[in-house]
Amino acid sequence: MVNFKWQFPEMPPSMPNQEPMEREFFVDEPINTRIVRESIQNSLDAGINRRRDSNVQTPVRVRFALSGIQYPLPEERAVRYLAGLDEHLRSVNGLDSDIQRRLNSGRVADGDMPFIVIEDAGTVGLTGDWEQYDDTNLSSARDNHFYWFFRNVGRSAKTGNENGSWGLGKWVFPDASHANCYIAVTRRADDTLLIGQAVLSKHSINGHRYAPYGYLSVEGENGLALPLRRSEPEHRPYVDQCIDDFGLKFRNEPGLSIIVPFPKTEYAGEGEAIDTHTLLTAVVHNYFYPIVVGRLEVTVDGGNGEPEINLNADTIDEVVGALNLRDDGERSAEGYRHLFALSRQALELPLQSYTQLSAPPSATPSNDKSGNESRNVIKLRDRYENGEILAFNIATDVRRKGESGRHPTEFKVYLQRDDSLDAGHDFYVRGTLSITEIDLIGKRRARTLLVVDENEPLAAMLRDSEPPKHTTWRPQTDRVTRNWTAASRRIEAVRRSPNNLLSLLEAPPEGRQRDVFADIFPWSPEPGGQPNPSSKRGTPRVSPRRPLKIPPAFPDFSVTRSETGFRVTGAANARTPLEDGDTVRLRLAYEVSRGNPLNSYQKEDFRLLGPGALDVQVNGAVIQEGDGNRIDLLISGPQAFEVAVQGFDRRRDLHIRIEKIVGENAEATESADDP
Is-contact 119 113, C-beta < 8 A? no
**Residue in 185, 187, 193, 203 with CA at minimum distance from that of residue 260:** 185
Q: Contact at 8 Å (CB) between 230 and 238?
A: no
- Report the SS3 class of residue 592: strand
What residues contact 219, with CB distance under 8 A and at least 6 apart? 3, 7, 225, 226
571 Cβ neighbours under 8 A, 6+ residues apart: 554, 555, 556, 557, 558
HSE-up of 244 (CA within 13 Å, CB side)? Answer: 8
Q: What is the pLDDT of residue 364?
A: 65
Give, for 355, the enclosing helix (H) or strand (E).
strand 355-357
- pTM here is 0.72
How far apart (Å, rounded) are the C-alpha atoms in residues 468 and 464?
10
Q: What is the 3-state secondary structure (H, E, C) of 418-452?
A: CCCCCCCEEEEEECCEECCCCCCCCCCCEEEEEEE
| CA neighbor of 182 nearest in space, from 112, 117, 98, 249 | 117
How far is it, in rounded angstroms, from Cα 93 to Cα 83? Answer: 20
Residue 199's pLDDT is what?
Answer: 87
Q: What is the DSSP letter of 10?
A: B
Give ∠ CA 637-639-641 in degrees, rounded to 5.
65
10-residue mean pLDDT profile of the chain (675 residues): values are 86 76 58 87 76 66 93 92 90 79 82 93 88 73 79 60 47 86 93 92 86 88 89 95 94 91 72 83 94 95 89 96 85 92 92 93 63 80 93 94 91 94 92 90 91 93 86 84 88 92 74 38 40 41 40 64 80 76 86 80 81 80 82 83 84 82 47 32
465, exposed or middle or buried, with CB in 10 Å at 0-12, 13-18, 19+? buried
Rounded to whole angstroms, the Cα distance separating 181 from 81 reads: 11
